[in-house]
Structures are given as C-alpha cells and as structure tokens.
Amino acid sequence: MSEPLLIARTPDTELFLLPGMANRHGLITGATGTGKTVTLQKLAESLSEIGVPVFMADVKGDLTGVAQAGTVSEKLLARLKNIGVNDWQPHANPVVVWDIFGEKGHPVRATVSDLG
C-alpha cells in the first residue's frame, strides 16, 4: 500500500489520508474562500501521483488548474515558509477535460441512457 498522502499542513499540524481509505465518502464544506477547491485539487494531485485515476465534475472550471504547473509568487513563498515547506516544486498533472458539447474538450461518447 502507498504511503499516507499529505493533504494539508499548518505550522502545528499535518493532515494525511491513508490511500486505502480514499474510497470512503467525504464531504468538504465551507464558506467562500476557505479552501474547498484547493483541498479538492490537492486530493486529486495526490491520488494522481500514486497512479489512481481521478474523475472530477467541474462545472465552473475551478479545478482545471491542476493541468498546469503553479507559478512562484511572494505570497506563495511566504505561505510555504510559514507552514514549513522547503521542497515545493511546481508541476503539472495529467488531465483530460471532457466536454459534453464536444466544443472545448474531449467529447463525451456516452449518453445518460448508456450509463444505466
């Protein structure tokens, strides 16, 4: 089994997910700007890194940022220093954007009735 996945870190705490428990139900809630999308991105990135295929429905397009490597900024460097991360390297993740209309992404070749 894979090592525990680091999901979140503060100066005092690290939060890990055991890959064997990742098939359980989960709920991420919070007000605007509290990190829900970033948490989902981190979960998807971590699972992808250990070879787990990830499917995410992303109506607003907030999650597609995982397809590009991040950029370094002063704000990011300050946050990384604050939480004790010294080895961060930006990287992209493999992404296929499916498009039900077949206009801006990979066309979906299934209908709702095909899915049962």
Judge whether 83 and 8 are in contact, CB under 8 Å. no
Domain limits, the chain? 5-115
Judge whether 64 and 58 are in contact, CB under 8 Å. yes
**Other Cβ atoms closer than 10 A to 71:** 7
pLDDT tens-place values along the chain, 116 residues long: 689 999 888 889 999 999 999 888 889 999 999 989 889 898 998 998 898 888 888 888 888 888 889 899 999 999 999 988 888 889 888 888 888 888 888 887 777 676 65
Q: Determine the 3-state secondary structure of 9 from DSSP.
A: strand
Report the predicted TM-score, pTM, of the whole model to 2 decimal places.
0.74
